[in-house]
Structure 1
């Protein structure tokens, strides 16, 4: 069940309404010694006129960092048109996809990096 999942770094305050894949996304970042700090979430939250959904802010930062990390692994600019990134953050319905495939685990992340590297070297 979703609520039994243990999150690595996400504070309890953010846990209401987050993707079931959030802990796995955190694992990817942690593998590369990366994370999102509370200060980053609060900096964005302070700029909101209404009480924000902290989980969405946290997920957005996580997914943004994953996107940057992905392009870094490929040694490409984030605006490289050969790579199609789709991200969506809305409570439980949050997604991180590369070239039409959901990336939710470290294995999927690394496999997609390897797949794209091999494709790029063929051209």
Structure 2
């Protein structure tokens, strides 16, 4: 009983941190003129190949992170296992604004051949965050 109560408390705390940090990032994107954000647009971005010129390196977020954000992913070049993206499964997801920006910068450039726009970042955050419910 104590274990279940403790786990529930930890999940609520982690979820609150995810929402607070994600909201902080979303507010920053709004200040840059983005919004309203749409998790369905984030889902489409997650699944769509977005390279400027389609080629053999045409990539999607889902190529490495998977279509099911509850499961681990695997980097398509290195084979490195990637923790699930769902913050309910991997509580460290979306809890650090600097890491969010670092990974957006790195992954957007590698996946799309460019940096993501503030609108795309907001849409993706909502898509990832909404995996909780």
Richer in helix (by share): 2
* TM-score, length-scaled by structure 2: 0.27
Richer in strand (by share): 1
Structure with more relative contact order (C-alpha pairs < 8 Å, separation 6 or more): 2
* TM-score, length-scaled by structure 1: 0.29
